[in-house]
Amino acid sequence: MATSLVDINAEIKKHEEQLAALRKQASDFRNQELIGIIDDIRKKIAEYGLTAADLKLSSRGPKTRAVKSTAPAKYRGPNGETWSGGRGRKPGWVMEALASGKSISDFEIN
């Protein structure tokens, strides 16, 4: 058993070095295993003539859909722009109109 703080710190350092070595060894084993697994998968793909579409894979990453506002327009700008008045940043034309002294109610759609 350690008899001083120096001894304890030395033990900790020794165990941390052992842990780092074991983590590296595990990583190396995993990488070697992956080489074999990837080779097997490639053989199966070739054997069965599978495509990325068959596997539901895409080179562009996961598909995401843009969320489009479904709220009806409440305001119409001077050039026909519309805005629902929802949360978030106001459109540029609204900011310009407010800065020039106009009221948001001037642009309400009746």
Same domain, 13 and 52: yes
Angle at CA 89, nearest 5°, toward 88 and 95? Answer: 145
80 shares its domain with 60: no
Number of folded domains in the chain?
A: 2
**pLDDT, tens digit, 9 for 90 and up, residues 23-66:** 999 999 999 999 999 999 999 999 999 888 888 887 665 566 66
Which domain range does residue 8 map to?
1-64
List pLDDT tens digits, range 75-92: 998 888 888 888 888 899
Tell me: do 46 and 79 sit in the same domain: no
Residue 100 belongs to some domain of the structure? yes
Question: What is the DSSP-derived secondary structure letter of residue 32?
Answer: H
- What per-residue confidence (pLDDT) applies to 42? 93
Residues 24 and 54 in one domain: yes
> CB under 8 Å to 77, separation ≥6 — which residues?
83, 91, 93, 94, 97, 107
Nearest to 41 by CA among 29, 25, 54, 22: 54
46 lies in the same domain as 88: no
Separation of alpha carbons 11 and 20, rounded Å: 14
